[in-house]
Structure 1
Amino acid sequence: MRKSQTRKRWLVPLLWRWLPLLLIWLLATAADRAWLAADQAIPAWDQADYLNSAVDHGRALGLLPGGEWPGWRDFLLLSPKIPPLASLVHGTVMAVAGEGPDQASWALALWHGLLLLSLDGWGRQLHSPRLAILALVLAAIAPRLVSLRVNFTLDLALTAVTTAALWQLWRWQRPAPHGGHWVAAMLAASGLAAALLVKQSAVPVLAAPYLWAVVTGVGQRQRRRQLLAGTALVLTLLLPWLHQNWITTIGGTHRAVVVSGANEGDPPVFSTASLLYYPQLWWRQLGSVSCIGALLGLGLALWRGLRTRHFSTIPQIPQPSLPAGWGWLLGCTVSGWLLTTMSPNKDARYIAPVLALLILWLSLGWLVLLSALQNWLGRWRAFVLLAVSMALATGHSTVGRVAAIHRAAGSGEPPVVSLVTFLRQHTGHAPTTLLMAPGSADLNEHTGTYYGRLNGGQLLVRSLGDSPAHHPLVLNQAEWVALATGDQGHHRENVRRLSHRIRKDGRFQRVRQWPWSRGRSVELWQRRPDAARGTPFVRQFVVLAQGLAHGPQGLARFMEQIGPHHQLDGHLLYQQQVEAWANRRLAQHPQATDALWSLAALKILRQDAGAADHWLARLEAVLPDNPWPTTWRAAVLLIDWKPWAAREVAHAHPRFQDEPLLKTVGELAAVAAGDLTHLPALHASWPRALEQVNGAL
C-alpha cells in the first residue's frame, strides 16, 4: 500500500508535466500525416533541393543505398551553401522511415517536437504550466507553423533550434542563483551552434541576444570563462564546415538574399514598407482568432495598469505577475523582427523563428483574458469559451490546409515521375544525366533529380538552355533531353527556341511522350546511336586548364566553360578521365605542363587546397618565369585560411613587384596574417590589379 502511494506520488506529477506536450504533439502529427496522405503533391524546387541534400548526406553516412563515406573533406563539400545539420537529421530519418517525400517528412515531426518542447520549458520557466500549455496549443494551430509542418524546407527546423537556443541562452544569462551555471552555458552554446549549422538565417535571430549575453556576462569572472568555453564550442562545431565552404556560402547567400530580393521586387530595406512587411502577415500566420483573444488580454492588462484608480466600481481583473525573463523575450522578439527585416529578400517563411516568440506573447494575452473571464463568468464557463475559441482557431487553420489539398491535388501520376521512372528502367543504375528544358514547380531539375536518385538511383537532372549561347553545346553533347509543349515555365523564349532546334535536329529522336497539364505534354528525346558528337570535354578541359598559364583571361575562359559542361555531365565523369590521363602522362613526362595544369585545375574545382598547392608548386618549378602558377597558388593558400604561407609564396617570386595581381594577393595575405604595415602597399596595388584584370577580360 505504501509502495503504491509512493509510486502514485511521483507518477501523477510526471503525467501532468509531460502528458499535455505529448498529446498535443501526437494530435498534430496525426493531422499532418493525414494531410500528407491526402495531398500527394510532389516536391517543388526548394523542397526537392532539401530532399536531395538529405539523400546526399544519408548516402555519405552509408545509411542510404547508392553511397558510401567519401572522406571528411568531400563530406563537408556536400553542403556548399547551407550548413549540413538538418540534412544529416533528414538523411538519418530517411534511412529509418523511407526516402519518399511523405516518409522523409517524419523529420518535420521531430523538429516540431523540439519546438513544442522548447516552448513548453520556456513558458513554464517564464510564468506557469498554464501559459506553457496555451503556448503549445497556439503553436500547434498557428496556420504558418501548420504549413511548415508539411512543407519540406528548413524553416521549421530553424524555428525549433533558434527557439531552443534563445531559451537556453536566457537560462544562462539570468542573474544568480538561477543563471551562470556551466551546464546552462554548454546547453546554450550547443543550441547556438545547432542553429547556425541548420541555416545562416539564424544569425538575424540570434545576433542581438548573443551580444547582449556577452555584454552582461563578460564582466563576471565565472561567466567570462563560460563565455570563452561556449564560444570555443560554437566555433569548433561551425568552423570545419565554414572553412571548406565559405566562398560558396558567401556567393550563395548573396544570390539568395541580394539578387533574389532585387529580382522579386521586394521593398527597399530602409523603408516603411519593409518595416511593416512581416507584421502585416502575422494576423494570418498566427491566426485571427488567436491574435484577437491575445490582444484583448494584453489590452486588458495594459488598461488596468494605466487606469487602476478608475477601476473601483469594476471587478478587478487579475493580472499575472511577470517574472524576470519577459524583458529578454521582448528584446529577442523585437531584434529578431528588425534584423530579419534588414534582409533584402523577404518571404513569409523567413519570419517563422519570430513567430515562435510571438506565440509566447499570445499565450500571455490569452492567460490574462482567461483570468478575467473566470472572474466575470466563472471558471467552467471561461474554460468552455476558451475551448470554443481554440476550436474556431483550429477550424480556421484546417480549412486553409484542406483548401491547399484541393489546389495541389492532380489527376494521375505527375509527368516528372513518369519520365524519370521510364528513363531509370531504360538506363538501370548507370550514371546518367538528363537535361530538363522546361522549368515549373512540378517539372524541374531538382524534383527530377530527387526521383531519379530514390532507392540508390544514379539519374541526375540538370537544366541547360536558358542562354542561347549554350544551345550548340546541348546539340553537340547532350544524350537525353526532356522537352515540353506549350508554356515552358521560366526563360520561355530561349527554351522554346532550344526545343525547336532539338526537334528539327536529325541527331535526336523522340522516345516517349506524357500528358502534362493545360493541354501540354512532356517529351523525352535521345541522341541517336549513330549521331556524331562534338569534341569530348576531356580534351577541351586540358586546353582550358593550360589557359590558366595566361592569367585572368584564361581563368575567365575556364570558368565560363566549366559551368555548362558540369550541367551536361552531372556526375562529373570527365574528371576521372582527365585525372587518369594526366597521371599516365606524368609517369612518362614528369614535367609535362599540360598534365600539371590539368591536375591543378581539377583540384581547384574539387576545392582540395592541399592537392592544388602541390601541383601548382610543381608548375612553379617547371615554369619559374611565369608568375601565374605562383599567383594561383598564393590565392589557393589564402582561400584555405593560410595567409602566412600565401604571403611567403607570393613574396618569394622574382616578379612580385612587377605583377599587380600577384602583388595584391601577396599584400592581402600579409594583412590577413596580421601585418597591418602592408595596408599602404595593398591600397596602392589594388587599383593596378583591377586594371590588369579588367584589361585581360
Structure 2
Amino acid sequence: MPEQNRHPMPGWLIALVILWGLSAIADLLWLTLDRAIPSWDPADHLIGSLNYWWSLQHAQWLSGDWWHSLWTLSSKYPPLLYIATAPFISLLGRDIEPAILVNLLFTALLLGSVFGLGTHLFSRRVGLWAAGLCLLFPRFYTVRTEYFMDYPLTALVAASFLCLTLWRDAQRAWQQWLWAIAFGVWFGLALLMKQSALFFLAIPLLWVAVGTLQQRAWGRFAQLVVASIITLLMFMPWLQTNWLFQISAGFNSNVKSAIAEGDPPLNTIAAWIFYVIDLPNAVSWPLFIVPVLGLGFYWLKLLPHERDRQHDQTSLQWLAVFFAGSYLLWSAIFNKDFRYIMPYLPVVAVVLGYGLTRWSRRWRSIRWGTVCLATVLTLLNLFPVGGTPGRALAQALSPGSRHYPDMHTQFPIQTVVDEIIQAQPYQIVNLGLLHSTALLNQHNVTYYGNRRDFRVYARRISNNDRHLDQDVRSMSWFLSKTQERSPSAQERRRQNAVLQTLRDSPEFRRFKSWELPDGSRLNLFHRRVPAVEVQPLSNIDEITPSGNVQLTRIIVPSQVPPGQPVPITYEWIGSWEQLHSGLVLLNWRNQATLPRPQSMQNGWIHDHAIGLGTLHPQPIQANQFISARATVEPHRPFRVTERTAMLPPSTLSSGTYMLEATYLNRETGETYPIDVPLTTTIAINTNAVPIPAPELDWVSQLRLLAKTLPDGVAALDPVFDQLGRINLYDPVQNYTVQAEKTLAYRLQQEPQNLDYAYGLALARVLQRQVQPAIAALKQIVDLDNDNPNAHAYLAFVNLYAFRPGEAKTAIEAALELNPGSAEFQAIDGIASLLRGNVWQAWQRGQTALKLSSR
C-alpha cells in the first residue's frame, strides 16, 4: 500500500490503549496472585453471573416464558453485569477470575468516556490526563479487581453523561438526534447495570430539560423525550417484573442497613459531609491537593493562561451540576457506602485533570512528579512491596487503600461442597450455615456449590428465636466454625443453641471436620437418616420394562389421632427419568366411602414430587424453568426413599383409611395408577396417642397456609412468615411448582374445591406467574364471591401486573362488601392513581389513613 494512503493510529488513541494495557497487566497480575474467598456481595453477584450464563446457554429468544424467567432471575439487581459476564465464563471457565475480567471492558469504556468528556469540555490534553488519573484513584483500583456492580456502573454513567454533554453542545439537528439517541441507550444500559444510575443523571437531565423549556426549544425537548422513551423501553421489562421487590429491597438496603451499620442520621452534619471527608481518600492526597492548588493558582492568575477562561468556566459549571446533584442526592440517602457514590469520580477526574494541567511550562515538573508519586502509591497499595517504609508512605498519602492479593488463604469451601456431593450425588443439597462472615457465608458457599452444576446451596439459619427448632428439623446438613464470635449476644446465644442441639441430638453426626490455619475448625454435620435417600439399583430387572414408578413399601403407624402430624415413609423404584419427572397424587380415603366418592371430604391428600423436589437436576433458581445439566442416564434404575409427615384433618371421622396413588408426569402430563401394597392402612382414632413426626413436607405446608387466606389481612403475616422459612429450606422453591401442578390437576377433578383454588393461586403468585395467578383468583372469586378478601386479592395482583382498570373493578367489589377496610381503600387509591385520577387517589388515601388510625 502506498505510504500516503496509510492512516496511522492517532496519538491519543495509542495513549489510551497503553493506559488500558497497563491497567490490564496490573489487574491480571493481582488476580493471578490472589487466592481470596469472595465475601458477601461479590459472591452474591458471582451467583448471578452463573445463573445468567447458564440461562443464556439455553436461550429461547422467541419464548415469552423464557424472557419472563430471564427478568425474574435477578429481582434485587438488574442483570446487565451478569449478562456481560456470560461470554467470559463460556470462554474461560466458571472460576472467579474470568468473571472479574469483565471489568477490563468497563475500564476501556471508562477511559474512553473520561477522555471524551475532558477533550470536549477542555482539551485533548486534559482528557488524556483525566483518563490516566482514573487508573491512579485508589477507589477505582481497589474495586476493579473485585466483582461489584459499582465499577461497571461508573463507566456507564460516564458514557451517559458524555452523550448528554455532546447533545447539549451539538449545533446541527442530526448531531442532536444522534447524541440524544445515544444518551437514551447508554442511560438505559446504566439503569440495567444498577438502578442507582438515576441518582447521578437525574439532576443534569432535569437541568437541560428545564433549560430547553425556558428557551422554548421544543425540538430539543422532543429529543430528550425520545431519549427518555428509549431508556424506559430498555429498563421497563425488568422493572415491570420486579418493581414490587424493589420497594422492599430499597427499604432493606437503605433504612435497615443504615441502622445496622450505624450510619449518621440525616439531621446531623456528619451525614452531609460524609462523602466530602472521603473524597481525598478516594483519589489520594497528592492527586487531590496538587490539582486543587493548580486550579486555585490558575484562577488567581498566578499560573500562565493557555485558553479562553470563559469557556472553561462554563464547562466547570456544567461539571459542578453533575457533581453537586450526585453529592446532594446520595448524601440524602440514609445508607452511606463509599462504593455507592463512585460514579461521580470520573467527573472529579476531569476537574482534577484540568487542575493538574494548569501546572504547565516551567511548572510541569510538579504535574509529572505528582503522577509519579501517585503511581508509586498505586503499586504500594496493590502489591506487598516497599516494606515498612512503603506501607507507612502509602497509609499517609492514600489512607485505607491497601488492597493486597491474598496469597495465603486456604479455606476449604470447595472441599466442603465436594464432600456433600460425594455423599448425595443424585440430589441438590441445602446447607444450613450458623455463621455469616466475610470468609464463610451463605453466598460464597452457594457460589462454589453452583459451580458444581448447581448441586449445593447454602442458607443462613439461627437468626430467629421462633424458628430455631424448625430450622434444625427442616434441614439435613449444617456447617459451623469454631472461634467465630458474633458481635450480637442474641445471635451468639442462638448459634450456640443450634450447635448444642446438633452435638447432642442422636439424629445428627459430625460428618467431617477441617482444621483451619487460624487454629479453628470447620465442622460439617449431617442427619444420620436423611429425609430423602437415593440409591441406584444394580439390577435393571427390578423395575418394569417401561421404567414406570412403583411403590414398593410404606411405613406408617397403625393408628393415629386426627389433626396431628403422622410420620410416613414411602419407597419408590423406577427409571431415573420417571422418578425425576414424577409427581404422586396420594389419596387417603375412608374404607367406608369406597368405591371412590367424587371429593376428598372424608379423607386427605398427600401430593408431592418424588424425592420431595431434591432430585438433581432442578431449576437453577426459584421461578425458573431451565434446569441444571443432567448427569444421570435417564433409563437407569433407582430407589428413592422419602421420610416425611402428613396431616389428617382434625375433622376426620374415626375409621380405617387406605391409600390410592396416581403418577403425574410434570413434563408431559401423563398419568397412570400406581399399585399400593394391600396391607397399607391407617386407623384414625380420636383416642390414639400422637406419634413424634418430622416436619410436614413443604407442599403440605403450602396447602395448609392457603386455607387461611380467606381470612384476609389477619392471615397474611403468619402465612408469609412461614413461607419465608420454607423458601429458606427449599433453595429453588420447587415446592411451589409441585403444588401448582398437583392442585391444577386436582381442580380439574373437583372444580368447586375452594381450598384447592386458594392453594393454586398462592402457588402461582409465589412463582410470579401473573396471568395464571389472575385466572386462579378469578376462579376463587366465582367460588367465594361473598368474601371481600377474594376480590381484594384479585385487585392486588392486577395492580402488580399494571392493570389498573381490572384492579379498580375488583377492589370496588371488595369495598361494597367491606367499605371499612383501610387496606381496600389504599388499593383503590393506587388503582385510581395509575388510572390518572389523582383527586380520587388522594381521597382514598386520606380515608385509608383515617381507618388505619382507629
- Normalised TM-score (structure 2): 0.74
Q: 1:300–1:369: 8 Å Cα contact kept in structure 2?
A: no
Q: In structure 1, give the amino acid aligned to 2:191.
A: L
Note if 1:16 corresponds to 2:3: no
SS at match of 1:337: helix
SS at match of 2:238: helix
Question: 1:690: which partner in 2?
Answer: 852
Residues in 2 aligned to 1:448 and 1:665: alpha-carbon distance in whole angstroms: 41
Residues in 1 aligned to 2:722 and 2:347: alpha-carbon distance in whole angstroms: 48
Q: 2:150–2:340: 8 Å Cα contact kept in structure 1?
A: yes
Residues in 2 aligned to 1:683 and 1:15: alpha-carbon distance in whole angstroms: 62
The structural deviation recorded for 1:646 is 0.7
Q: Which has the larger radius of gyration?
A: 2
Q: 1:45–1:441: 8 Å Cα contact kept in structure 2?
A: yes
Question: 2:621: which partner in 1?
Answer: none
Question: 1:514: which partner in 2?
Answer: 514
Question: 1:37: which partner in 2?
Answer: 32
Pick closer, same or farther for the CA change 1:534–1:373 going to 2, 3 Å: same
Please say which of residues 176-185 and 281-290 is displaced more in the overlay. 176-185
Q: 2:788–2:813: 8 Å Cα contact kept in structure 1?
A: no
Among 476, 481, 485, the alignment partner of 1:479 is 476
SS at match of 2:102: helix
* 1:151-550 aligned within 5 A: 151-174=146-169, 176-177=171-172, 181-218=176-213, 219-304=216-301, 317-322=304-309, 323=311, 324-373=314-363, 382=365, 386-403=367-384, 409=406, 411=408, 413-428=410-425, 430-489=427-486, 491-529=491-529, 533-550=694-711
Residues in 1 aligned to 2:448 and 2:54: alpha-carbon distance in whole angstroms: 15
Q: In structure 2, give the amino acid aligned to 1:106.
A: L
The structural deviation recorded for 1:516 is 3.1
Residues in 1 aligned to 2:408 and 2:322: alpha-carbon distance in whole angstroms: 46
SS at match of 2:335: coil
Q: 1:293–1:369: 8 Å Cα contact kept in structure 2?
A: no
Question: 2:137: which partner in 1?
Answer: 142
Deviation per CA, 1:218-269: give whole Å up to 9, x if none.
4213212212211111111111111111111121111111211122111222
Residues in 1 aligned to 2:529 and 2:217: alpha-carbon distance in whole angstroms: 75
Residues in 2 aligned to 1:275 and 1:241: alpha-carbon distance in whole angstroms: 33
Pick closer, same or farther for the CA change 1:530–1:325 going to 2, 3 Å: closer
Question: 1:377: which partner in 2?
Answer: none
Please say which of residues 246-255 and 210-219 is displaced more in the overlay. 210-219
Please say which of residues 389-398 and 139-148 is displaced more in the overlay. 389-398
The structural deviation recorded for 1:588 is 1.8
Question: 1:121: which partner in 2?
Answer: 116
Please say which of residues 487-496 and 83-92 is displaced more in the overlay. 487-496
Q: 2:35–2:409: 8 Å Cα contact kept in structure 1?
A: no
Question: 2:606: which partner in 1?
Answer: none
Q: In structure 2, give the amino acid aligned to 1:576.
A: V
SS at match of 1:152: coil
The structural deviation recorded for 1:685 is 3.7
The structural deviation recorded for 1:677 is 5.0
Residues in 1 aligned to 2:18 and 2:426: alpha-carbon distance in whole angstroms: 44
Question: 1:309: which partner in 2?
Answer: none
The structural deviation recorded for 1:22 is 0.6
Question: 1:674: which partner in 2?
Answer: 836
Q: In structure 2, give the amino acid aligned to 1:4.
A: E
The structural deviation recorded for 1:386 is 4.1
Please say which of residues 574-583 and 638-647 is displaced more in the overlay. 574-583
Please say which of residues 659-668 and 243-252 is displaced more in the overlay. 659-668
Deviation per CA, 1:523-572: give whole Å up to 9, x if none.
11111127863221211110101111111122111101011111111021
* 1:32-71 aligned within 5 A: 32-62=27-57, 71=66
Note if 1:641 corresponds to 2:802: yes
Residues in 2 aligned to 1:601 and 1:649: alpha-carbon distance in whole angstroms: 18
**Percent identity of equivalent pairs:** 26
Question: 1:655: which partner in 2?
Answer: 817
Q: In structure 1, give the amino acid aligned to 2:381.
A: G
Question: 1:6: which partner in 2?
Answer: 5
Q: In structure 2, give the amino acid aligned to 1:630.
A: H
Residues in 1 aligned to 2:409 and 2:715: alpha-carbon distance in whole angstroms: 50
Pick closer, same or farther for the CA change 1:391–1:660 going to 2, 3 Å: closer
Pick closer, same or farther for the CA change 1:234–1:530 going to 2, 3 Å: closer
Please say which of residues 111-120 and 287-296 is displaced more in the overlay. 287-296
Structure with the higher fraction of residues in strand conformation: 2
Residues in 2 aligned to 1:228 and 1:143: alpha-carbon distance in whole angstroms: 38
Pick closer, same or farther for the CA change 1:452–1:69 going to 2, 3 Å: farther
Deviation per CA, 1:43-81: give whole Å up to 9, x if none.
1000001111111111221179xxx99612221111212
Pick closer, same or farther for the CA change 1:440–1:27 going to 2, 3 Å: same
Note if 1:616 corresponds to 2:777: yes
Q: 1:545–1:597: 8 Å Cα contact kept in structure 2?
A: yes
Pick closer, same or farther for the CA change 1:688–1:302 going to 2, 3 Å: closer
Please say which of residues 132-141 and 425-434 is displaced more in the overlay. 425-434
Q: In structure 1, give the amino acid aligned to 2:217.
A: Q
Q: In structure 2, give the amino acid aligned to 1:389.
A: T
The structural deviation recorded for 1:647 is 0.8
Question: 2:722: which partner in 1?
Answer: 561
Among 67, 73, 79, the alignment partner of 1:78 is 73
Higher relative contact order at CA 8 Å, sep ≥6: structure 1 or structure 2? 1
Pick closer, same or farther for the CA change 1:271–1:15 going to 2, 3 Å: same
- Normalised TM-score (structure 1): 0.90
Residues in 2 aligned to 1:482 and 1:408: alpha-carbon distance in whole angstroms: 27
Structure with the higher fraction of residues in helix conformation: 1
SS at match of 1:317: coil
Question: 2:95: which partner in 1?
Answer: 100
Please say which of residues 223-232 and 22-31 is displaced more in the overlay. 223-232
The structural deviation recorded for 1:394 is 1.0
Residues in 2 aligned to 1:273 and 1:87: alpha-carbon distance in whole angstroms: 35
Pick closer, same or farther for the CA change 1:55–1:497 going to 2, 3 Å: same
SS at match of 1:442: coil
Q: 2:304–2:360: 8 Å Cα contact kept in structure 1?
A: no
SS at match of 1:40: coil
Please say which of residues 265-274 and 554-563 is displaced more in the overlay. 265-274
Identify unmatched segments of 5+ residues in structure 1: 306-315, 375-381, 693-697
Alpha-carbon RMSD across the aligned residues, in angstroms, is: 2.4
Note if 1:604 corresponds to 2:765: yes
Identify unmatched segments of 5+ residues in structure 2: 385-400, 532-692
Q: 1:158–1:198: 8 Å Cα contact kept in structure 2?
A: yes
SS at match of 1:597: helix
Among 750, 773, 777, the alignment partner of 1:589 is 750
Residues in 1 aligned to 2:821 and 2:266: alpha-carbon distance in whole angstroms: 41
SS at match of 1:61: helix
